[in-house]
Amino acid sequence: MRAAMNERGPLCVGIDPHSHLLDQWGLPDTAEGLASFTYGVVDALADRVAVFKPQSAFFERFGSAGIYVLEQATIKLREAGALVIIDAKRGDIGSTMAGYAAAYLAEKGPLACDALTVSPYLGFGSLQPAIDEAREAGAGLFVLALTSNPEGPQFQSARTVDGPTVAGAVLDGLRELNADADDLGSFGAVVGATIKSTGEDLDIRGPLLAPGLGAQGGTAEGLKDVFGSAVRNVVPSSSREILGAGPDAASLRDAADRANDAFRAVLGY
């Protein structure tokens, strides 16, 4: 991931095919419209953006036809040298978590990607099957830690029996997983770009996926306030600000380049 961001810039483009975006592109809210939208983004940006984050929910809503589009888009993006984080926020225990890991993280899994977002709220240890599969495949995880939704602090800021907050315990677990990393470990956290300062130590020696930039209010300059000394490890994710420039491919590229330049300046790429 560090190599990809050094080469192409740190921008992560979220692929979130909302119905209103399909309409904005003049496409029907169908599996066919989804395919046209998604492949339009892929064709325009796959060879110039380091990281993409397709939101699985917007593909799942079209059933097997939508999953097929997600599968094909992931293959096309990776073939173009981009990294793919599938944003599915899976979280379960035992063999069920192992099943999710086999689908998304195993080298020959049907939806094999570079990293998967996962939820730790059945206990950090419940992620072990995904951790093991990621290590085996050379993939990674992004674990929910400090999200920007207003309901998040109800759980994330609660204190554990051992003292730290739930979010702090998650960050500690990730820091331990990345302890032997030379630069950027494979186990990252999801930290909202609009959460402001939390007092948590975000230096986990791993990547920090930061959604909420652009249309959701987060700014490149504001990343310094949220992430402090760990800002170099941020993977800034923007979706609507980029996708809204379509369907014209040149406009999509211009929007991605502008965002990437802003993030390069702040993050030091």
Q: Catalytic residue numbers?
A: 89
CB atoms within 10 A of CB 3: 11
| DSSP secondary structure letters along the chain | -HHHHHHH-S-EEEE---HHHHHHTT--SSHHHHHHHHHHHHHHHTTT-SEEEEBTHHHHTTHHHHHHHHHHHHHHHHHTT-EEEEEEEE---HHHHHHHHHHHTSTT-TT--SEEEE--TT-GGGGHHHHHHHHHHT-EEEEEEE--STTTHHHHTSBPTTSSBHHHHHHHHHHHHTTT-SS--SEEEEE-TTS---S-----SS-EEEEEEGGGSB-TTTHHHHHGGGGGGEEEEE-HHHHTT-SSHHHHHHHHHHHHHHHHHHHT-
Q: d(Cα 51, Cα 13) in Å, to the nearest integer?
A: 6
